[in-house]
Amino acid sequence: VVTAHMRMSGMYWGLTTMCLLGKNLQKEMGSEALCDWVMSCYHADVGGFGGGTDHDPHMLYTLSALQILALCDELDRVDKDMVCMYIKSLQLSDGSFQGDIWGEVDTRFSYCALQALAIIGRLPSLDGESHEGVELAEMGKSKAINIVRAVDFIKECINFDGGFGAVPTAESHAGQIFCCVGALSIARALHVVNVDQLGWWLAERQCDSGGLNGRPEKQADVCYSWWILSSLSILGKMSWIDGDKLTHFILECQDPEDGGFADRPGNIGDIFHTFFAIAGLHLLGYFKRRARAGEVVFREYRDIDPTYALPTDVVKRLGLPAQVL
């Protein structure tokens, strides 16, 4: 169930799924009206987006809004300086990011901040230049985040088991690992990861059912197909899990009547798990295999990028930076 305060993310999950399945956002999804709605959630005074109309701005929904505008090729609608200023305003002196003015800190927000800046072309690189080659000084220091400290904070969240938590000393969690590995991929700083140890921890998440769980002793859940597979894909270790067994588990989570996917077999589907199920199947090469076998799956499917969780062609069109091993 997508509640009103997170409608923005719900729209991103739904639209990205439609893109992956070959729908044309302009012709088939009314992208212009959708972007009008996205802009109705923009707070011009601070530069952030709320999760719905009349909701306060937040890092999570600012990223979802930018992802939707990127998907629809409508990024010209935003004032990039203002959005950049909003994200900078949420960085703390230890390099971490808070989600909004109320102060919760979480590595999810580090990922959101770095991806959002990359999308608007304002991500400074670790060696002091923006990815477009513009000197940091030229961009105006007041507009750039401190990328070195952002990476240092993520490094502080590495645990003895090789995983990452939400804040330093917090338990390793596959969702946070995606955020940290994704953020390091965007910053081109994967050298801080112990790849074998983390790859092993992630591969250990595969259960007897073939599904993946988010932490030891937890039940498998279809969304971890994405959080874990994308991380393994960035680390070049996707072969460390059994792809056929996972594919089988994901397909078991689909409701044969409405087509949606649930967190696990037999449960009711939702847009969140449907997106991550389809995205996971894409990384597993499921649709390519079916197309190769001569089955017409869709007219024109699109691949997903493991770092950005956006179609690979969108990432390419925007020239977004990503390190993969």
Q: Which residues of this protein are in contact with Zn ion, per CB under 5 A?
A: 221, 223, 263
Please, what is the minimum distance in Å from the beta carbon of residue 232 to ligand FPP? 15
Q: Give yes or no for residue 309 binding ligand FPP (CB under 6 A).
A: yes
Among residues 118 and 139, whose Cβ is nearest to ligand FPP?
A: 118
DSSP state of 259: -
Instruction: Choose one: 51-59, 175-183, 253-261, 313-321; the region binding ligand FPP (CB under 6 A).
Output: 175-183
Q: Which residue is nearest to ligand FPP (CB)?
A: 175
Which tokens is 143 given?
A: 């507009």
Task: Tell me which of 31, 176, 233, 254 binds ligand FPP, using CB under 6 A.
Answer: 176
From Zn ion, ligand FPP, none, which one binds at residue 108 (CB under 5 to 8 Å depending on kind)? ligand FPP
As a three-state string, the secondary structure of 102-160 is: CCCECHHHHHHHHHHHHHCCCCECCCCEECCCCEHHHHCHHHCCCHHHHHHHHHHCECC
Determine the Cα–Cα distance for residues 102 and 27; give it in Å rounded to an integer.
40
Please, what is the minimum distance in Å from the beta carbon of residue 189 to ligand FPP? 18
> How many C-beta atoms lie closer than 10 Å to residue 160's C-beta?
7
44-103 positions binding ligand FPP, by CB under 6 A: 60
Please, what is the minimum distance in Å from the beta carbon of residue 137 to ligand FPP? 31
Which tokens is 197 given?
A: 């140890």
Determine the Cα–Cα distance for residues 26 and 24; give it in Å rounded to an integer.
6
Among residues 55 and 290, whose Cβ is nearest to ligand FPP?
A: 55
Q: How far is CA 300 from CA 18, 41, 295, 312, in A?
A: 11, 31, 13, 13
Q: Where do contacts with ligand FPP occur on this chain (CB under 6 A)?
A: 60, 108, 111-112, 175-176, 178-179, 214, 221, 227, 309
